[in-house]
Amino acid sequence: MQTTFYRAFGSCVIGASLLASGSSSAAKEKADFVRITPADVHWKDIPGGHGAQEATLLGDPEKSAMYVIRVKFPPHVMDSPHWHPNARYVTVLQGTWFAGTGDSFDAARAVPLKPGSFMMHPAKATHWDGSAGNETVIVQIIGIGPTDGGKVDAGMPDWIDVR
């Protein structure tokens, strides 16, 4: 399992490196560094997200390329079971993030992950997550777009208030 993760992660890093490197020597001499401070993060409300927000730091999650986003979950807000076409690599930055797997949503089955924790969502694997507690949660997600996947239960709301 770990070997598969390292291969997948290594493929992402190699792919990003190849995309970032130019074919001319001038491109290699002039690197474009990206620095983003917390004040530079531009949060946007997720429609119907009960206050959940997203910020794109690098790339475009809707295009076929590497991206880095952050998602902010307000207290007691989780998303419903869904999947993405490509693997996603999630690091918890703030709060305790509750992550569940499988087609049926049950907040009591979610695994609490504290800041500094990491989780890899395999491609097309159903998951659901968010803040099941009294604190705001921020996660950072790295992946290859496009991110549009699918909901598991069309009758279930996209976002759930778990109070």
User: Phi first, then psi: what are they for 16, rounded to 5°?
Assistant: -65, -40
The number of folded domains in the chain is 1
Ranges in the chain, pLDDT < 50: 5-6, 9, 11-27
Looking at residue 121, which CATH number applies to its domain? 2.60.120.10
> What does the pLDDT look like over 58-98, one tens digit per residue?
999 999 999 999 999 999 999 999 999 999 999 999 999 99
Q: Is residue 29 part of a domain?
A: no
Angstrom distance (rounded) from CA 126 to CA 136: 23
Residue 57 token pair: 């730091």
- 51 part of a folded domain: yes
> Do the domain assignments include residue 101?
yes
Instruction: Establish if 12 belongs to a structural domain.
Output: no
